Structure 1
Amino acid sequence: MENFSSPLQAFNHWVSQSPNKVFLKQPINRKHLEFTFKESYDEAAKLASALHKLGVAPGDHVALLSKNCAHWLIADLAIMMAGCVSIPIYPTLGADSIQSILEHSESKAVIIGKLDDYSKQQSGIPDILKIGVELYGINEQHSWEQLVAESSPLSNIHHQEEDEIMTIMYTSGTTGAPKGVMHTVSAFNEISLTAIEKIALPPQPRLFSYLPLTHIAERAGIEMSAIYRGGEVSFPESLDTFGEDLATCQPHLFFGVPRIWQKFQEKILEKMPQEKLTKLINLPVLGSIIKKKIRKKLGLSQSAANFSGAAPIAVSLKQWYRKLGIEINQAYGMTEDCILSHFNLPGANKFGTVGKPMPGVISKLSEEGEILIKSNCLMHGYYKEPEKSTAMFTEDGFLKTGDIGEFDHDGYLTITGRVKDQFKTDKGKYISPAPIELELLKNTDIEQVCIVGTGIPQPIALIVLSEQGKNKSQVQIDESIWTTINQVNPALESFEKVAKAVIMKEDWTIDNGLMTPTLKVKRNQVEKIHMPMYADWFNQSENVVHE
């Protein structure tokens, strides 16, 4: 393997080694628009040249507002080639949030790509240089296609230095306003080379990009994997075609947040109830044929490594997949450490943990049990937030993760809660909700759960039903939920026992502000809306209350 020192150097290597190999596959109206490495390079170099001509100078900030698509990666390469700093923006954000990020980041230009409804976001873009991709119906001040057609490739491509800021990534904001995490070229270089060393994939692997590229896991795990390994990246055309697009791609690496793994399970059980599935997969010859068929239908027949991250995943769900021949490795990292932290890996996967420290990572626990991390991939602080930046580090340079954990005798880390998620009941006892929530999520009638209890004697569970749960009668649901609570409670301390379940009327979604773009529940928002009702719900006679 080449010892690269930057993403551009790695990309240039594959342009020279495999110029005609497909790098990006973008579905448009069910046909694939393909870009080879050489075509991607030329397009990016022309866009970089256009940026300079339009007055964007090296070191300037260039924002990127788009869902995952071929143009996202080409734009990111163009921003690097022009010597600029990329500011990715979540494509689901509303106009106000987009405006505040563009203004806070001091972006000089914004590249606008594939979006669901740009008309609702357009008013959030201030008077800066705007480049729209016509292919996705974005008609803006400047057309990507026209700029590329009129420009010659930039001849003096920027040479990336290891210590220069490459990107400012605004966190998805489970707690408060997004903060701009500054990362250098060397952070992405180190995480990419470490992944190549520890995660074995076929040469020039196939990859599937669908979780927001604005998120560190997708950026490092998929975009950088493709750039450093010379991979081929496919994208879903839409939510409706997601399953078909994934099955067509059959990627060699797959990363899903727990909610995605739950959704896949739901789809399988819709077609084949659990009892029948269990019976069939246990049959000697037929069982292995059925398992193979399910893996192929999901799109995971060729995957050498499957990961889950961003939130805890139930051990029971991983065991369920293992029976189908799909091994899910839980990993742990955050934007601030460029996800170089702890990973379970194929062949070294301990369920219930988030794995061991990756090479180059030193981790320890504070006196309070908070997980502290040190590596060469730590952020260079939050943009324009020196006090918040300082508060994130210990005096000896360890990053404070905000997570509480414990190590077992084999060195595997288990996360037991969040420092800020702990709440106190009116008995004065602190409760960590995450472990209880994970136990309840074993019930496939439950899609999302939030254990709360501020101001009441015992915790209660706020529950959003899964599709399977929504198809059951109220009597069936009440019985299902209360049976699960009775199974979970005996293992809990008396002050932790769940006293009630409350079934939510509405789903928690990105659109209503109760989930982050990475599909994590925004606990503080859920609490803000529902806390006034806790006492009423707690005092009702039913065990399962319907909102």
Structure 2
Amino acid sequence: MAVDPCKQTSLHCLYYWADETPDSVYLTQPYPDGRVEDISWKQAADQVSCMAAHLNSLNLPEPSNIGILGKNSAHWVLADLAIWAAGHVSVPLYPTLNGETAAYVLEHSEAKLLFLGKLDGTADGWNDIRNHIPEDLPIISLPMSPRDDTPGWLEIIAGQTPAEPRLPASDKLATIVYTSGSTGRPKGVMHSFRTMISVADGLQQLFPVSSDERMLSYLPLAHVAERAAVETQSLCYGFHLYFANSLETFQADLQRARPTLFFSVPRLWMKFYLGINAKLPPKKQKLLFNLPIIGGAVKKKVLRQLGLDHCRAALTGAAPLSAEIVNWYRNLGLELLEVYGMSENFGYSHANRPGQARAGSVGMANPGVEHRIGEAGEIQVKSPGQMLGYYKNEEKTREDVTEDGFLKTGDMGEIDRDGTLRITGRVKDLFKTSKGKYVVPVPIESRFSHPWAEVVCVAGANQPQPCMMILLSDEARAELLAGADRGVLEQELAAQLDAVNAGCEAHEKVAFVVVVMEPWTMENGMLTPTMKIKRNVIEDFYNQQMDGWFSQKKKVVWEF
């Protein structure tokens, strides 16, 4: 499928749809005061052209790297486009970064200006970041910015004559995406306009997309997954993009959008699942779902309550999701498809196909993608979305890309005879017990499933056997802290542990599970911005307690 010459890049796409469907709504933005703003394709293009004219007037070196810091919003996307229209390179920053890391990204990228967007210091890192922004760095505030002492987007465009956009060449550097960093300093992944738009072209062959779609943008736009699946696709195919206001209004925002396509990460799919379980216990679900006529109606009601009753395809990625949870959603009638990709290939690598999904796998290689298993079982991928390299780090680029152009993913996996890929863990996640035996934690974690267990982490380096830490759902923890009986839950966790161990080799058998007290969040550094566990941080946090847990010789250990 050839790329439309009128839509060579995301910026070309903006002006294409502004000409084709000028009055159709592109962006819908809710505000904290309850107001909801619709921005048409023509309005979006006009705002981008006006901001590009302003950026031109600043006489920045061409091209300059320009930061975008803020939660998802309509003007985050417009700022991204305006940076490109002025001939510059966008550098997104996660809103949950700590101040030190934000300062590092701004310094390493040599950012010449910062667009400061939606932040409030409650569920983001603003209170720390604010003290680490260089005093001499120019700032433009987007709507809902925490700063009112800088030039503002709306004020600037109100008095600005639009500039003729500089439509870029496909191979030009478009963005530097700093990895979410489960370990070490984030790396700056360089993507061209071609690598970005190739993703939308390839995904179209897997999930036919049209201008009639609706999507809700709420996962960090600073990450390639949201940028590829939501921003780039909405621009390429001209569909309506909605935004969420806050965690408290998320359900209402989802109901407003009624998405036809929905992308989420395992942590949130699990939260949805646990929320339904709290209202409709699993035993009752099983009974109702199996009733001939009533079952179908109940399933539709559940999807309607989730806001996903119009959704014809849903994607999950960034971390493993247990086959049991995937099948639960499919039983509801939601086509939940696991996909796989990395920052280094703009999220474009593997996907399960509609009607052909295989739970426990990430599907087959996407159109145009080659894959193979290299040394130590490591997955290697060559993708149309593959990065230009790491910014200012040629040595790391040479280390991670083979001489024949395959990306070393750092993930371990197996490819079956049909070409389906199953991920078995991270190369760096392997650890040795005190008996000298290697343990691969991810497959063990994926087999543990309890309706109250939100996240699990297998650890135990240099211990006789592995152990497993479990974070319960907020609702379950609240009930237990309020004095609910733990006996039944303890029996269920012990039984689930036995079931997991039945499939483990002797050296892999989990000695016990620990029900932890401290929530694992992005704010305390235990989760990445895409809600993957930071295994090394979690292990370091609990390391001193390991010997004490082992000495208790119990199947279930309680931290509270």
Q: TM-score range by the shorter chain?
A: over 0.9
Q: What residue number does 1:46 align with? A: 50
Q: What residue number does 2:460 align with? A: 453
Q: What residue number does 2:18 align with? A: 15
Q: What residue number does 2:182 align with? A: 174
Q: What residue number does 1:258 align with? A: 266
CA distance in 2, matches of 1:369, 1:36: 49
CA distance in 2, matches of 1:284, 1:134: 51
Q: Which secondary structure does the structure 2 equivalent of 1:405 belong to?
A: strand
How big is the shift at 1:392? 0.4
| Paired residues for 1:72-471 under 5 Å | 72-117=76-121, 118-126=126-134, 127-155=136-164, 157-440=165-448, 442-470=449-477, 471=479
TM-score, reference length from structure 1: 0.97
Instruction: Give the letter for the 2:530 counterpart.
Output: T
How big is the shift at 1:81? 0.3
Instruction: Give the letter for the 1:169 counterpart.
Output: V
Q: Which secondary structure does the structure 2 equivalent of 1:142 belong to?
A: coil
Task: Please tell me whether the aligned partners of residues 201 and 304 of structure 1 are also in contact (alpha carbons under 8 angstroms).
Answer: no
Matched, 1:499 2:511: yes
Task: Please tell me whether the aligned partners of residues 205 and 367 of structure 2 are also in contact (alpha carbons under 8 angstroms).
Answer: no
Q: What residue number does 1:522 align with? A: 534
CA distance in 1, matches of 2:347, 2:381: 11
CA distance in 1, matches of 2:534, 2:308: 30
Task: Please tell me whether the aligned partners of residues 258 and 309 of structure 1 are also in contact (alpha carbons under 8 angstroms).
Answer: yes
CA distance in 1, matches of 2:492, 2:452: 8
Instruction: Give the letter for the 2:142 counterpart.
Output: V
* Cα distance change on mapping 1:537 and 1:119 into 2, 3 Å: closer
CA distance in 1, matches of 2:279, 2:516: 27
How big is the shift at 1:426? 0.8
Matched, 1:488 2:494: no
Q: Which secondary structure does the structure 2 equivalent of 1:87 belong to?
A: strand
How big is the shift at 1:468? 4.7
* Cα distance change on mapping 1:495 and 1:135 into 2, 3 Å: closer
C-alpha distance after superposition, 1:261-301 (max 9, x if no partner): 11111111222122222222222222222222221221111
Task: Please tell me whether the aligned partners of residues 176 and 189 of structure 2 are also in contact (alpha carbons under 8 angstroms).
Answer: yes
Aligned length: 545
How big is the shift at 1:68? 0.4
CA distance in 1, matches of 2:375, 2:528: 30
Task: Note the residue ranges of structure 1 that are not aligned, 5 or more in a row.
Answer: none
Task: Please tell me whether the aligned partners of residues 133 and 139 of structure 1 are also in contact (alpha carbons under 8 angstroms).
Answer: no
Task: Please tell me whether the aligned partners of residues 372 and 399 of structure 1 are also in contact (alpha carbons under 8 angstroms).
Answer: yes
Q: Percent same amino acid at aligned positions?
A: 40
How big is the shift at 1:455? 1.3
Matched, 1:32 2:44: no
Task: Please tell me whether the aligned partners of residues 98 and 129 of structure 2 are also in contact (alpha carbons under 8 angstroms).
Answer: yes
TM-score, reference length from structure 2: 0.95
How big is the shift at 1:514? 0.6
Task: Please tell me whether the aligned partners of residues 97 and 124 of structure 1 are also in contact (alpha carbons under 8 angstroms).
Answer: no
How big is the shift at 1:187? 0.2
Task: Please tell me whether the aligned partners of residues 200 and 304 of structure 1 are also in contact (alpha carbons under 8 angstroms).
Answer: no
Task: Please tell me whether the aligned partners of residues 119 and 144 of structure 2 are also in contact (alpha carbons under 8 angstroms).
Answer: no
Matched, 1:2 2:4: yes
CA distance in 1, matches of 2:144, 2:384: 39
C-alpha distance after superposition, 1:138-190 (max 9, x if no partner): 313312122111211112x1121121110000000011111110011110111
Q: Which secondary structure does the structure 2 equivalent of 1:124 belong to?
A: coil
How big is the shift at 1:395? 2.2
Q: What residue number does 1:60 align with? A: 64
How big is the shift at 1:136? 4.2
Task: Please tell me whether the aligned partners of residues 363 and 374 of structure 1 are also in contact (alpha carbons under 8 angstroms).
Answer: yes
How big is the shift at 1:125? 1.0
How big is the shift at 1:135? 4.3
CA distance in 2, matches of 1:229, 1:222: 10
Task: Please tell me whether the aligned partners of residues 205 and 231 of structure 1 are also in contact (alpha carbons under 8 angstroms).
Answer: yes
Task: Please tell me whether the aligned partners of residues 318 and 327 of structure 1 are also in contact (alpha carbons under 8 angstroms).
Answer: no
Task: Note the residue ranges of structure 2 that are not aligned, 5 or more in a row.
Answer: none
C-alpha distance after superposition, 1:297-337 (max 9, x if no partner): 21111212111000000000011111211121000000001
C-alpha distance after superposition, 1:402-450 (max 9, x if no partner): 000001121110001110000000111111000100111x112211111
CA distance in 2, matches of 1:226, 1:140: 33
Q: 486, 489, 496: which one pairs with 1:474?
A: 486
C-alpha distance after superposition, 1:326-380 (max 9, x if no partner): 1210000000011110100212211111000001100000132100001232111
Q: Which moved further from structure 2: 394-403 or 137-146?
A: 137-146
Task: Please tell me whether the aligned partners of residues 91 and 115 of structure 1 are also in contact (alpha carbons under 8 angstroms).
Answer: yes
Task: Please tell me whether the aligned partners of residues 91 and 177 of structure 2 are also in contact (alpha carbons under 8 angstroms).
Answer: yes
Runs of 4+ in 1 over 6 A off after TM superposition: none
